[in-house]
Amino acid sequence: MTRVVELPLWLLVLILAFATVTFASHFLFPSVRWFFRKRLERAVARLNERLERPIEPFKLARRYDMVQRLSYDPEVAKAIVEHARKAGIPEQVAFEKAQRYAREIVPRFSATAYFGFGIRLAKLLSRAFYRVRLGAFDEARLGEIDPDATVIFVMNHRSNMDYVLVTWLAAERSHLSYAVGEWARVWPLRTLIRSMGAYFIRRKSRNNLYRKVLSRYVRMATDGGVTQAMFPEGGLSLNGEVGAPKLGLLSYIVQDFVPGESRNVVFIPVAMNYDRVLEDRVLVSADIKGTRRFGLRFKYVARHVGRHLWQRITGRFFRFGYASVSFGEPVSLVDFLDGNPPEDMLEPLGDTLMARIRDVVPVLPVPVVSAILLEGDGQTRAEIVARFDALVTAMEADGAHVHIPRGDMSYAAEVGLRELMIRKIIVEEGNGDAAKFYVHRPDRLILAYYANSIAHLSTELAPIHISDLTPAEVADASVL
């Protein structure tokens, strides 16, 4: 027992390392985790005192526990058995696949990351690029929502800045749990987004096992009262219009809903609009090609990032105009179903939500000026201002939510013209009152992209689609 045993140094180091890890995992780590978890719980309790809709315990559960709960869910278990039978594989293999899906979907929410870092970053980015304005917002109506109901913000999808804007503007009310697509699964963005409480989805997956795991997570989160945000269009608008709803995520909420037993769900329509969408050329190019594959070339990104940084350094950067968010009339799921079978009301609900989003799309200077310039080339500034005044007045009379800088129609029209001239989408020829404005021919579809965002709010405007153009006009639209 007292003999000296000689060991190579590397083996001794390895043994000591294993001993240290074992000691820490059994004695130190549990205490440390308990210590930090208690601090987190106290911090969240203080945070919930100022939030209109407190963070639910569901969001604070350990990720490992949520993955296990989802993996052993009875409905998921049935899907595992069915998947194993159809694929001809052992059930244990199917179970491991279901667990992999669960780990992929379940977020690792951090209240510190979201409210300490995420909100500040969202506010900084929003104000760095836009003059942010809150459009339609009935605070009294939103305040009447049952505090026990699960709130889901349903939004049109114009830009990846949508996440940033709504996260900031909703910061005083609650944490938002987003459904994000495959684009966000790249490292290190994946870890950051998961810590912000977002969950990943494979939008085009036809795997029944995956869809069952996803649907059960959405149902659990909804029953747990988690405030969520979703884009019913299923992707960014390629032509500027508010599109038709994709019913995938919505179906998980509606089809498993049991009136009187399930927690009520209240949908809040949210509409966003911009004087400039950062991805506009990429989106229009994808629309021309008829595919949602965004052919974004590195040199294109590098050129624009470099130009932007140079403008910042030299003090010649101007913010990208206005960005506005409006909130529409809430829809209570219990009231909407009104005793009808949930599966029969899925499509009507999707159509109703998109209609309410369209109703509150903010009217901003660039979309209005874009619509006017598409009506005819060679207009003078006075003609554009007069048409701007007439269009906006008519839309306001019909109930549209309009943002007019300084309350001055002439100034608002000038803002729209200035933003488009900075980007060289339009050119001014001549001087003074005789000057006329012309559209840069390859950029007509860029103007159409902005005009389409408000075309549904006026009987005098009509959206412009790729199918309405001749092959020669499409060929001219070299937007990238």
Residue 108 — pLDDT band, cuts 50, 70, 90? Answer: confident
Average pLDDT, the chain: 81
- Is the pLDDT at 243 greater than 80? The verdict is yes
- Is the pLDDT at 47 greater than 50? The verdict is no
Residue 382 — pLDDT band, cuts 50, 70, 90? Answer: very high
Identify the sign of the CA torsion 225, 226, 227, 233. negative
Instruction: Give this prediction's pTM.
Output: 0.83
Residue 282 — pLDDT band, cuts 50, 70, 90? Answer: confident
Comparing 320 with 52, the larger pLDDT belongs to 320
Per residue in 56-103, pLDDT (tens digit) is 666 666 778 888 999 999 999 999 999 999 989 999 999 999 999 998
For the chain, the structural domain boundaries read 1-50, 104-278+321-359, 365-476
pLDDT of residue 446: 93
- Is the pLDDT at 31 greater than 80? The verdict is no
pLDDT of residue 178: 79
Question: Which CATH fold topology does 365-476 show?
Answer: Arc Repressor Mutant, subunit A (1.10.10)
pLDDT of residue 35: 47
Asked if residues 371 and 455 have their Cβ atoms less than 8 Å apart, the reply is: yes
Residue 286 — pLDDT band, cuts 50, 70, 90? Answer: confident
Query: Which of these ranges, 114-123, 199-208, 293-302, has the smallest mean pLDDT?
Result: 293-302
pLDDT of residue 451: 95
Q: Which of the listed CATH numbers 3.40.640.10, 3.40.1130.10, 3.40.50.1820, 3.30.70.260 matches domain 104-278+321-359?
A: 3.40.1130.10
pLDDT of residue 34: 47
Exposure b/e, 423-460, CB count within 10 A at least 16 = b: bebbeeeeeeeeeebebeeebbbbbbbbbbbbbbbbee
Asked if residues 467 and 408 have their Cβ atoms less than 8 Å apart, the reply is: no
- Is the pLDDT at 51 greater than 60? The verdict is no
Note the maximum CA span of the chain.
Answer: 105
Query: Which of these ranges, 107-116, 313-322, 359-368, 429-438, has the smallest mean pLDDT?
Result: 107-116
Asked if residues 271 and 197 have their Cβ atoms less than 8 Å apart, the reply is: no
Comparing 420 with 168, the larger pLDDT belongs to 420
Which of 69-83, 119-133, 433-447 ranks highest by mean pLDDT? Answer: 69-83
